[in-house]
A and B are shown apart, each in its own frame.
Chain A
Amino acid sequence: MPDRREKTKSPYTADRHVPGSFEGETVSRRRFMVRSVHTLGGMATAAFALPALGFALGPVFERKKIRWEQVGFPADFPETTYVPRVITIAEGIGEAGKTTVYVRKHNKQLDPPMKDSYDQYVAVSTRCMHLGCPVAFVEAAQRFVCPCHGGVYDFTGKVAGGPPVRPLDRFYTRVRNGRVEIGPRYSVNSELKRFSPRDPAQDLDGIGPYAYPARFSTEKKPKGAKE
């Protein structure tokens, strides 16, 4: 059987010996039909699949709003020890959305110099930086201790032992109308440099900040906050 297709393809279906082709036709009716039906099918699928996908992925790109929560008077918080306070980090889920925060006044002897006005009070998160269990401050040892896998942090929240990959997270603090307020979370590396909030188990030293990039879902840092 001779090859019915010619070496150089003509744009006209008649030249290509497509059965039933008309004079001057470049797309056969069969091919036109197939393509338009496939296009319509694709559009119909996209019409429900894309919104569904966006619906499921939406929260990844939804930025959380900054909330400031009052936790007490400036006089409540000494420099040398922590005072536990309970704040809400997720609304609408009752007790599950609350977390304990350890608050104290900035201590010149222990802490690096204040970076900005959000550094007057140190609010340490109780989320362990190994895998997220709740740590407790043990007064006698001056350490934060995690019950799950033995993570230990010193008085400033830096890792003193165990599996955690970075110091405990902190919260921005400010004083408004004579009250101490706790705001958005931020993460710190081993030199207490500030980063946008990362999940536990995500290292922030060396290539860490590149391996675990900032997310779209966390709060923006408050106005004027420095790194």
Chain B
Amino acid sequence: MRLKLPTPPLPDALKPAPKRPGEDNGKLSPKEAASEAGITVVDWIDERTSVSGAARWMMFRKVPKGTNWFYTLGTATMFAFLSQAVTGVILAMYYDPSATGAYESVRYITNEVFLGELVRGMHKWGSTMMVVLAFVHMARTFFFGAYKYPRELNWVVGVVLLVLTLLMGFTGYLLPFDQRSYWATIVGVNINGSSPLIGPYLSDFVRAGSDFGATTLARFYSIHMMIIPGALALLIGVHLYLVAKLGTTAPPWQSAEQDIELRKAEV
């Protein structure tokens, strides 16, 4: 199956003249082959993976009448996550997750590395942005009633994503290892330890011991850098699949009246 991409609207004068029957017998000239190279590569991959069907299913969906800018908040949150992922990976090239070296390495990133201040700033402020966007996206879903049947599971997945995002904020806060992050983490771990029965053991697990010790920072780093991002990426996939599978809702002010022509066509 050949992919058919929509041709851009061109004036007739610019359109290539169609070949006469029998001319070249369908052989491509090098120029034509070069101009179709992209499509040839995509075709080659698609023939072996059938990925175009999935891509079309995901990207060319019908959206309800009244879809507006509020529907872009989820995508905005996802882009905030992508930005965090990319800047985080770059920051990891310079960061040293040891109690004695962390502060100095962050100082080095901020003051010495080329564009270090910008990348660290993007990661730091981007994290706040991601939390804000997630909450605004959640508010949109709530006020538009988009959590109702059959989308309850997607709401649940979204809440887990929100909790993971907040945990990212909590674990990332320790990493600069200055006075503020050290004491904020002590306070945060103690808040979590105040839950009855499991609290004390949960704190020991998070701190890797009865006190803030040599491996606490490394543990926070591994949670911040591997465990939660992995879970986030996986659940974002699930979240997106459910969005594509179930479709989006119309805004609540959109009336349910159906177009007369459409009604005829469906009968």
Chain A residues with a Cβ under 8 A of chain B: 56-57, 59-60, 62, 64, 89-94, 96-97, 131-134, 148, 197-202, 211-219
Contacts and interface: CB of A to CB of B under 8 A. Distances in A.
Contacts of B100: 93-94
Interface stretch (B50-58, B146-154, B195-203): B195-203
B213 A93 contact: yes
Contact of A212 (B187, B199, B214): B199
A148 B209 contact: no
A114 B18 CA distance: 106
B186 A132 contact: yes
Contacts of A218: 210
A134 B212 CA distance: 14
Most chain A CB inside 10 Å of its own CB: which residue of B201, B213, B214, B215: B213
Contacts of A213: 197, 200
B229 interface: no
B214 A90 contact: yes
B201 A60 contact: yes
A62 B194 CA distance: 21
Contact of B99 (A57, A92, A148): A92
B193 A199 contact: yes
A60 B190 contact: no
Contacts of A56: 205
Contacts of A134: 183
A132 B190 contact: yes
What range describes how many residues of B lie at the interface?
20 to 34
Interface in B173-220: 177, 182-183, 186-187, 189-191, 193-194, 196-197, 199-201, 203-205, 207-215, 217
Given A90-B214, A94-B99, A96-B99, A211 B208 contact: no
B214 A91 contact: yes
A118 to B, nearest CB: 19
B200 A198 contact: yes
Contacts, number: 94
A171 to B, nearest CB: 13
Chain A at the B interface: SS class: loop
B210 A64 contact: yes
A215 B200 contact: yes
Given A90-B211, A132-B189, 15 more contacts: A59-B209, A64-B211, A90-B209, A90-B213, A93-B213, A94-B99, A96-B182, A96-B212, A132-B187, A134-B183, A198-B200, A199-B189, A202-B193, A213-B197, A219-B210
A201 B194 contact: yes
B213 A133 contact: no
Nearest to A134: B183
B167 to A, nearest CB: 16
Contacts of A202: 193-194, 199-200
B99 A93 contact: yes
A90 B205 contact: no
Contacts of A94: 99-100
26 contacts: A59-B209, A89-B211, A90-B211, A90-B212, A90-B213, A92-B213, A92-B214, A93-B99, A93-B212, A93-B214, A96-B182, A96-B212, A132-B187, A133-B187, A199-B190, A201-B193, A202-B194, A211-B196, A211-B197, A212-B200, A213-B200, A214-B200, A215-B201, A217-B204, A217-B209, A218-B210
Contacts of B193: 199-202
B191 A64 contact: no
A213 B217 CA distance: 26
A219 B209 CA distance: 11
B98 to A, nearest CB: 8
